Amino acid sequence: MKIAMIGTGYVGLVSGVCFSDFGHKVVCVDKDPRKIEMLERGEVPIYEPGLDVLMHKNVEAGRLSFTLDLKTAIDGADAVFIAVGTPTRRGDGHADLTYVMAAAEEIAKAATGYMVVVTKSTVPVGTNRKVKEVISAAVPGLDFDVASNPEFLREGAAIDDFMKPDRVVVGVESDRAKQVMADIYRPLYLRDFPIVTTDLESAEMIKYAANAFLATKITFINEIAALCEKVGADVKSVSKGMGMDGRIGNKFLHAGPGYGGSCFPKDTMALARIGQEHAAPISIVETVIKVNEDVKRRMIDKLADLCDGGFNGQTVAVLGVTFKPNTDDMRDAPSLTIVPALVGGGAKVRVVDPQGRREGEHLLPGVTWEEDPYAAAKGADLLVILTEWNEFRALDLSRLAGSMAQAKLADLRNIYAASDAAAAGFTAYESIGRVGLT
Ligand code: NAD
């Protein structure tokens, strides 16, 4: 199969590379010349474990290439995937479809023969039909089909998620499009990974419903954690005991500083707006959005309590600013709420992150970047673990405590235990949903 992938971000690049690894011929297009220049030099513009090796392999095999020119990319393509961003629209919380519709129009103008236009971006129900209208209006009589193929990969584990998915969702309207999609995903189908084939609207809805459900699960355990702190229960034991119930499952039950990232915040917001517009409000999701903001604010209060009420004059070392480990993605990360509160409150903030510095330098003004946790903690009054990178999971706590001006630890990912912190010489330790040490 010949595939064109529009957008070389986290989803487009991973999907393009993986499709080429399936044996298809893939051309990836982006309108950002910086990204295409990097890709042509063999450099990966994002941090995603394993992506560089797989990309080089398929470029060398002649199955994968990159271009700024959409017309070249879609020439003779069986399918054109739209994998551009759908950020929150300013002002109303809706998904901004500007990039999707612009891509659809460009595809229409460059099309030469039958192709399936596949939307991989996360888009509100009804968008695939609008894509169809836009293409038909731009070039009346063009022979094409549309398909919805939402993506479920997680940054940091994206290749594995793409190659070994829990399921692939395909929304189609014609047998011809269904066949093209089946041919594209044949390697997964042959290995018994389930393909859910449905109508366009259901495919679009599956993606939003799945993300909103996961955001709800995280938020649920975060609220239980707050209650655990009041009643003296341990949220780690609570989630373990809950998660062993097969009906509940143990994933997405880790209490933390609130969900963030490029998907959950914007997708919950978009789903809430879709519900309101159709007079079918999804109150549970509206509440989740509000509670998640409360959770992030509670983190600031927790840190302020550890600093005896305020941040003025305090030196705070923050470990991790990306929204989760193994990615350089900072979009809607909890650090973007918490770090400015520290800086704004008058703290001197030192930051360490294995991959977050490139983005973080623009997004977190007023902080000092350090190379490692020990340099960051030296002489500090408070150490905050904000992202659970592996690098922060086996720290020499005694060395850290011994080098700090005040040995206080806020472990917002529940990596350590109060007893570890006490044994290492910390005088204060707070985590999420567990009895602390003060
Ligand atoms: P991104 O911002 O990383 O990448 C989008 C890319 O599209 C950019 O490089 C941009 O330059 C390019 N682009 C925009 N318009 C273009 C055009 N007309 N022609 C060529 N290139 C164009 O976005 P992302 O994180 O990859 O997300 C893409 C979509 O996938 C979103 O709808 C998102 O919700 C969804 N999604 C993301 C994830 C994730 O983990 N990031 C997971 C599942 C689904």
Query: Which CATH number do you get for residue 269?
Result: 1.10.1040.10
Cβ of 103 less than 6 Å from ligand 1: yes
Q: Are residues 94 and 212 in the same domain?
A: no
Q: What separation in Å is there between the alpha carbon of 100 and the centre of ligand 1?
A: 9
Q: Are residues 232 and 165 in the same domain?
A: no
The pLDDT value recorded for residue 387 is 98
**Residue minimizing CA distance to atom 38 of ligand 1:** 11
**Residue minimizing CA distance to atom 21 of ligand 1:** 30
Helix pair angle (200-231, 283-306), 10° resolution: 40
Domain boundary among 244, 268, 290: 290
Domain boundary among 164, 198, 232: 198
Mean pLDDT of the 302-313 span? 97
Binning pLDDT at 50, 70 and 90, where does residue 385 land? very high
Q: What separation in Å is there between the alpha carbon of 384 and the centre of ligand 1?
A: 31
The pLDDT value recorded for residue 91 is 85
Q: Are residues 87 and 66 in the same domain?
A: yes
The number of C-alpha atoms within 13 Å of 387 and in the hemisphere containing its C-beta is: 31
Mean pLDDT of the 150-167 span? 98
Q: Mutate which of 30, 80, 101 to test ligand 1's pocket (most atoms within 8 Å of Cβ)?
A: 30
Domain coverage including residue 51: 2-198
Q: Are residues 184 and 243 in the same domain?
A: no
Cβ of 327 less than 6 Å from ligand 1: no
Query: CA torsion angle for 73, 76, 79, 84 (degrees, to 10)?
Result: 20
Cβ of 7 less than 6 Å from ligand 1: yes
Domain count of the fold of the chain: 3
Mean pLDDT of the 376-402 span? 98
- Flag whether 348 is in a domain: yes
Cβ of 48 less than 6 Å from ligand 1: no
Q: Are residues 49 and 127 in the same domain?
A: yes
CATH of residue 335's domain is: 3.40.50.720
Q: Are residues 102 and 215 in the same domain?
A: no
Q: Are residues 342 and 412 in the same domain?
A: yes
Q: What separation in Å is there between the alpha carbon of 377 and the centre of ligand 1?
A: 36
Q: Pick the catalytic residue from 18, 28, 263, 307.
A: 263
Contact predicate 73/107, CB 8 Å: no
Domain boundary among 198, 230, 245: 198
Q: Is the pLDDT of residue 197 over 80?
A: yes
Q: What separation in Å is there between the alpha carbon of 291 and the centre of ligand 1?
A: 27
Q: Is the pLDDT of residue 437 over 90?
A: no
Instruction: Give the dihedral sign, CA 75/79/85/90.
Output: positive
Q: Are residues 58 and 148 in the same domain?
A: yes
Q: What separation in Å is there between the alpha carbon of 417 and the centre of ligand 1?
A: 39
Cβ of 369 less than 6 Å from ligand 1: no
Q: Are residues 285 and 307 in the same domain?
A: no
The pLDDT value recorded for residue 90 is 86
Q: Are residues 220 and 358 in the same domain?
A: no
The pLDDT value recorded for residue 436 is 83
Q: Are residues 286 and 306 in the same domain?
A: no
pLDDT digits (tens, 9 = 90+) for 40-54: 999 999 999 999 999
ipTM: 0.99
Cβ of 19 less than 6 Å from ligand 1: no
- Flag whether 156 is in a domain: yes
CA 71 to chain centroid, in Å, comes to 30
**Residue minimizing CA distance to atom 4 of ligand 1:** 9
- The reply to whether 28 belongs to the active site is no
Cβ of 27 less than 6 Å from ligand 1: no
- Flag whether 102 is in a domain: yes
The number of C-alpha atoms within 13 Å of 363 and in the hemisphere containing its C-beta is: 21
Q: Are residues 278 and 422 in the same domain?
A: no
pLDDT digits (tens, 9 = 90+) for 98-151: 999 999 999 999 999 999 999 999 999 999 999 999 999 999 999 999 999 999
Residue position matching structure tokens 């023969």: 113
Mean pLDDT of the 165-176 span? 98
- Flag whether 142 is in a domain: yes
